[in-house]
Amino acid sequence: MEKEIDELIRIELQADRAGDDLTTRMVVPEDMECSAVIKARQEGIISGQECAESVFTSMDRNISYSMTVRDGEKVKRPETVAEIRGMAAPVMAAERTALNFLGHLSGIATLSGAFTEKLRGTGIIVLDTRKTTPGLRQLEKKAVRDGGGGNHRMNLADYILVKENHIAAAGGLREVIRALGSRINEAEIEVDSTEMLEELLENPPGRIMLDNFSPEMVSGAVSVIGKLGENRPEIEVSGGITLENIHRYAIEGVDYISVGSLTASAPAFDLSMTVKGVG
């Protein structure tokens, strides 16, 4: 993962042409040193500190980046997140790329934390999905964990998850069950109707995903699945879950709620970097 992140940082710095910062080159003395601080401009949870540090040290390995808040920790405005010292030109050239990573990942952690807080005391775990930004999957899924959420599959090889297109391509649910055979206990199967659920319970998998069920339908499904006793499948709920309605899905018997928006549409966390002094 470290090599992948280093390459990602290299690409982003190159895209920003950080080594050719025309403005800084023209107005900032080449031999000037500076100190700077990154501050939170909102309340939330920080993620991406090591990534931000790597951006600065990629520009100049002599830059000192001191984290005053660790990943997974909460901050309030205007709390200091990091202190930076080094030559002014590379510090200023790295600023935007570092804040892009830190703001994006902290935004995901903060949203993950908000969903997790809504489920406090229920025992239900909020999960992400594979709706991630190309190239940022590992970082985004870590940010979900920093916010208190959990990760679903990291990739397609991680877990057997049978969705509607698999069922259609296989020729129906019964064909899926036949194909899985003895490994059905290792699989999760998505259902989108009570009829599919009833058919599936004849040969239950390890986990059932209730996709786009209303809260009332989820409650009914939990009751039906619960009749299997101690060997009942885990229950995951997905589809259309928001901060405003998640409490309606926090039904006893549900084990997981998966939320694509954790990574797909988290707003960026508001941060700023200010040069404190030069010498």
- Cβ 10 vs Cβ 112: under 8 Å: no
Q: What is the CATH number of the domain that holds 250?
A: 3.20.20.70
Does the structure show a pLDDT above 60 at 279?
Answer: no
Does the structure show a pLDDT above 60 at 211?
Answer: yes
Q: What is the mean pLDDT of residues 255-272?
A: 97
Whether residues 249 and 237 share a domain: the answer is: yes
Cα–Cα–Cα angle for 201, 203, 208, rounded to 5 degrees: 55
Does the structure show a pLDDT above 90 at 276?
Answer: no
Whether residues 107 and 126 share a domain: the answer is: no
Whether residues 16 and 105 share a domain: the answer is: yes
How far apart (Å, rounded) are the C-alpha atoms in residues 36 and 233? 53
Q: 259: helix, coil or strand?
A: coil
Q: 162: helix, coil or strand?
A: strand
pTM of the model: 0.94
- Please count the other Cβ atoms lying within 10 Å of the Cβ belonging to residue 265: 11
pLDDT of 215 reads 97
φ, ψ at 180 (rounded to 5°): -70, -35
pLDDT of 4 reads 83
Whether residues 101 and 124 share a domain: the answer is: no
What are the Cα distances from residue 176, in Å, to 84, 161, 168, 183, 212? 56, 11, 9, 11, 21
By DSSP bridging, strand 44-45 and strand 74-75 are antiparallel
Residues 6+ apart with CB under 8 A from 35: 83, 84, 85, 275, 276, 277, 278
Q: Which residues pair with 238 in a beta bridge?
A: 211, 258
Question: What letter represents residue 125's amino acid?
Answer: I
Whether residues 95 and 217 share a domain: the answer is: no
Long-range contacts of 20-24 (CB under 8 A, 24+ apart): 21/89, 21/92, 21/93, 24/88, 24/89, 24/92, 24/93
- Name the residue range of residue 188's domain: 119-264
Mean residue pLDDT across the chain: 95
Whether residues 16 and 130 share a domain: the answer is: no
Q: Which residues are identified as catalytic?
A: 96, 131, 163, 190, 211
pLDDT of 3 reads 81
Whether residues 129 and 217 share a domain: the answer is: yes
pLDDT of 231 reads 86
Number of domains the chain contains: 2
Whether residues 10 and 104 share a domain: the answer is: yes
